[in-house]
Amino acid sequence: MKLSKNGLRASAIGALVVSGALVLSACGSDNNNEPTKDGGKTSAAASNIKCDGAKGQLLAAGSSAQKNAMDLWVKNFQAACSGVEVNYQAIGSGGGITKFNQGQVALAGSDSALKDEEVAASQKVCAGGKGINLPMVGGPIAIGYKLDGVDNLVLDAPTLAKIFDTKITKWNDPAIAKLNPGAKLPGSTIQAFHRSDESGTTQNLGKYLSATAPADWKYDPKTKSWPAPGGQAANGSSGVATAVKDAEGSIGYFELSYATANKISTVSINTGASAPVAATTENASKAIAAAKVKGTGSDLALSLDYTTKAEGAYPITLVTYEIACDKGNKAETLPTVKAFLNYTASEEGQKVLSDAGYAPLPAEIAAKVRAIVPTLS
Express each pLDDT in 46-101 by its tens digit.
568 999 999 999 999 999 888 888 999 999 999 999 999 999 999 989 999 999 99
DSSP tally for the chain: helices H, then strands E: 12, 13
Max Cα–Cα distance, the chain, nearest Å: 63
pTM tops 0.95: no
Position 320 scores a pLDDT of 87
**Predicted pLDDT at 46:** 56
Query: pLDDT value at position 371?
Result: 97
The answer to whether 68 touches 4, Cβ cutoff 8 Å, is: no
* Nearest CA among 336, 343, 334 for reference residue 377: 334
CB contact at 8 A, 57 and 85 = yes
What's residue 350's pLDDT? 79
Tens digit of each residue's pLDDT (9 = 90 or more) over 296-306: 999 999 888 99
Return averaged pLDDT per consecutive 10 residues of the chain, 377 residues in all.
39 36 31 36 61 96 88 95 96 94 97 94 97 90 96 97 98 98 97 94 95 97 95 95 98 91 96 96 81 91 92 91 97 97 91 62 79 97
Q: Are 335 and 52 spatial neighbours (Cβ–Cβ below 8 Å)? A: yes
CB of 88 closer than 8 Å to CB of 67: yes
Helix%, strand%, coil% for the chain, nearest 5: 35, 20, 50
Query: Whose CA is closest to 172, among 249, 95, 253, 228?
Result: 249
In terms of Cβ atoms closer than 10 Å to its own Cβ (0-12, 13-18, 19+), residue 238 is buried
pLDDT value for 362? 65
